Amino acid sequence: MSEANTLEIRHLRTVFHTRKGDLAAVNDVSLTVPKGKIVGIVGESGCGKSMTAMSVMQLVRKPGEIESGQILFRGEDLLQKTPGEMQKIRGDRISMIFQEPMTSLNPVYTVGHQVEEALRIHEHLSKEELHRRAVEIFEAVGIPEAEERLKSYPHQLSGGLRQRVMIGMAMICKPDLLIADEPTTALDVTIEAQILALMKKLRDENGTSILLITHNMGVVAKMCDFVYVMYAGRVMEQAEVFELFRNVQHPYTAGLLQSIPRIDHVVDRLYTIPGVVPNLLHLPAGCGFCTRCRYAQDRCYEELPELREIAPGHFIRCFSTNQELSGKEESHA
């Protein structure tokens, strides 16, 4: 086990027990977050990316349950920890920020109280020391007039400021891993850029590893070192970020990329992947994407492709590569 990796998830499977059977929200997912790196998980809503994050925090709610796998955090399996040990890790060594800064802060307490609380749970400090650290972290996350702002209630702050508060709260114990679940989805584009820059800055200063969950390929390109593309609970493609953008090989990832608007490419209509995310209860026996894949063959419906390495560090879960497929299509045409 190398200390070089902050987080290693191995064959994680998280299921929801429903009346009509079990539904695997996370299915045999393995991923690695190296120390000080930003790793992205992309996919449409419902692909299991948030559930992967919640599994790491062990905040999966009933009727969900982590069924099998390992979650190695700095070499130790979190799934073997007692609830008490896990509680000490949450917020201290691993912290998390969420999509909705509007509703993720408790409306009846001042933000200062909530930020100090995050510190107080894990470190025994005097009142003055708590306050000093809160001011410090507010300044670090770029909140002006920190002293004054600490006394504000969440509803008195803008969305961007609230997300800064959330980040401050998550970073105040200087965690090894920050999980950011769609941190900028609810924000304006300009604010989004600021928040992303802030996260990068904090990573550079503290060496924090970040697991960034998003549906936005643009954010991935800006932020990540490594990317995992998830679909219907499984990893479909994984690679280092430049490799992925230069050399997309899974048809699903290709679809995701085509659906971002580009300045250099004038099109009449933006591409959308046809169909919708399938119901996890009625997944096809084969590849989860086959119902929406324009290259799907009979084999894809019957047999699940394994993740295979097609270039150093670049894995895809598909029988063919995109090059082969698009080549084939051209020859057909």
Partner 1 sequence: MAKKIINRVLVSIPVLIGVIFIIYVMLNIIPGNPIEVMMAEHARQDVIDRISAYYGLDKPVWEQFLIYMKNLLHGDLGVSYKLNRSVNSLIADAFPYTLKLAIAAAIVSWLIGIPAGILSAIHENTIVDRLFMGFSLLGVSMPVFWAALIFQYIFAYRLAWVPVSGADTWQSYILPAIVLGWSSAGTIARLTRSNLLEVLEEDYIRTAWAKGLSQAGVILHHAFKNALLPVITMMAIQVASLLSGAVITETVFAIPGIGRLAVDAITNRDMPLLQGTVIFTTILIIAGNLIADILYSVIDPRIREK
Partner 2 sequence: MSDLKHFRPDTAFGGKNEKRDLTSSAKKAQDPDAKLSAKDKKRIQLAADLGEAETGWDKFKILCSENKLAAASAVIILVIALMAIFAPVVAPYDPTKQDLLHRLEGMSAAHIFGTDQLGRDVFSRMIYGARVSLVIGLLPTFLSLALGTVLGLISGYLGKAADFVIMRLADITMAFPSLLLAMVVMYTLGAGIVNIFLALTFVSWAGTARVIRSQTLSLREMEYIEAARSMGVSKWRIMFQHILPNCLPNLIVLFTLNIPGSILSESSLSFLGIGAQPPMTSWGLMVSDGKQYLFTDPVVAIAPGVAILILALAFNFLGDGVRDVLDPYLNKQ
Closest CA to 252 of 236, 238, 271: 236
Q: Shortest Cβ distance from residue 100 to partner 1 (Å)?
A: 5
| Separation CA 259–CA 46 (nearest Å) | 18
Q: Are 133 and 119 in contact (CB under 8 A)?
A: yes
With tokens 């925090």, the residue in question is 57
Q: Which phi and psi angles does 44 have, rounded to 5°?
A: -70, 165
Residue number, 291 or 322, with CB nearest to partner 2: 291
The vertex-244 CA angle with 71 and 188, nearest 5°, equals: 80
Q: Return the one option of partner 2, partner 1, none that residue 117 interacts with (CB less than 5 to 8 A, by type).
A: partner 1
Q: Which amino acid is at 145?
A: E
| Given 49, 162, 203, 250, the residue binding partner 2 (CB under 8 A) | 49
Residue number, 105 or 198, with CB nearest to partner 1: 105
Give the sign of the dihedral formed by CA 278, CA 283, CA 285, CA 286.
positive
- Does 50 bind partner 2 (CB under 8 A)? Our answer is yes
Which distant-in-sequence residues (6+ apart) come within 8 Å of 130 by Cβ?
A: 116, 119, 120
Q: Which residues pair with 213 in a beta bridge?
A: 41, 181
| Separation CA 111–CA 152 (nearest Å) | 6
- Does 82 bind partner 2 (CB under 8 A)? Our answer is yes
| Separation CA 193–CA 41 (nearest Å) | 19
- Does 64 bind partner 2 (CB under 8 A)? Our answer is yes
| Given 72, 79, 125, 135, the residue binding partner 2 (CB under 8 A) | 79
Q: Shortest Cβ distance from residue 261 to partner 1 (Å)?
A: 30
Tell me the residue ranges of DSSP E strands in 123-221: 177-181, 209-214
| Separation CA 147–CA 140 (nearest Å) | 13
Q: Return the one option of partner 2, partner 1, none that residue 122 interacts with (CB less than 5 to 8 A, by type).
A: partner 1
Q: Shortest Cβ distance from residue 143 to partner 1 (Å)?
A: 17
- Does 19 bind partner 2 (CB under 8 A)? Our answer is yes
Q: Return the one option of partner 2, partner 1, none that residue 319 interacts with (CB less than 5 to 8 A, by type).
A: none
Q: Shortest Cβ distance from residue 47 to partner 1 (Å)?
A: 20
Q: Return the one option of partner 2, partner 1, none that residue 92 interacts with (CB less than 5 to 8 A, by type).
A: partner 1
Q: Return the one option of partner 1, partner 2, none that residue 46 interacts with (CB less than 5 to 8 A, by type).
A: partner 2
- Does 234 bind partner 2 (CB under 8 A)? Our answer is no
Residue number, 143 or 169, with CB nearest to partner 1: 169
Q: Contact residues for partner 1 (CB under 8 A)?
A: 57, 59, 87-92, 95-96, 98, 100, 103-109, 117-118, 121-122, 153, 155-156, 166, 169-170
- Does 100 bind partner 2 (CB under 8 A)? Our answer is no
Using CB under 8 A, count the residues that bind partner 2. 28
Tell me the residue ranges of DSSP E strands in the chain: 5-18, 21-34, 38-42, 64-73, 76-77, 94-97, 177-181, 209-214, 226-231, 234-240, 308-311, 314-316
